[in-house]
Amino acid sequence: MTGDRQMFTTPYRPPTPPNGPSTCPRCRQPVIWCLTDTNRRAQPINPGRDATGTTAIRQDVTGRWRSRGLTRERPTPEGAEVLHIPHAATCPTPRPRKTPR
């Protein structure tokens, strides 16, 4: 009688991306995981402030860490944002690059 029964399934939810202070999974250095403003992906950021940094990070009202790259339209930090450097630029064991096919 499986034809008479309705199957209830829960919708798939992707895992929550990391957010906040943690460590890099490759080199184990401390990082701050931030969600990018453009595509909502997790990006590791070096925790130390850097005046020459290219990424502005902040904590939103929910406590999530957010980041955005500086652009021509918005070249300086705004509000509570501070400048940092993306960890990918300084990681001693970076992610392997994809080889072109």
pLDDT one-digit tens code per residue, 60-89: 999 999 999 999 999 999 999 999 999 999
| pLDDT, position 96 | 79
Angle at 55 between CA 54 and CA 58, to 5 degrees: 150
Least confident piece of the model among 10-19, 20-29, 83-92: 10-19
pLDDT at 90 over 90: yes
pLDDT at 53 over 80: yes
In a domain, 37, yes or no: yes
In a domain, 5, yes or no: no
| pLDDT, position 67 | 97
pTM passes above 0.85:
no
Report, as an integer, the average pLDDT of 10-23: 82
In a domain, 11, yes or no: no
- Tally of domains within the chain: 1
Question: Using CA atoms, how far apart are residues 20 and 32, in angstroms rounded to an integer?
Answer: 5
In a domain, 26, yes or no: yes
- Segments forming the whole domain that contains residue 45: 20-70+78-89
Question: Using CA atoms, how far apart are residues 32 and 21, in angstroms rounded to an integer?
Answer: 4
Report, as an integer, the average pLDDT of 19-24: 94
Mean pLDDT of the chain: 88
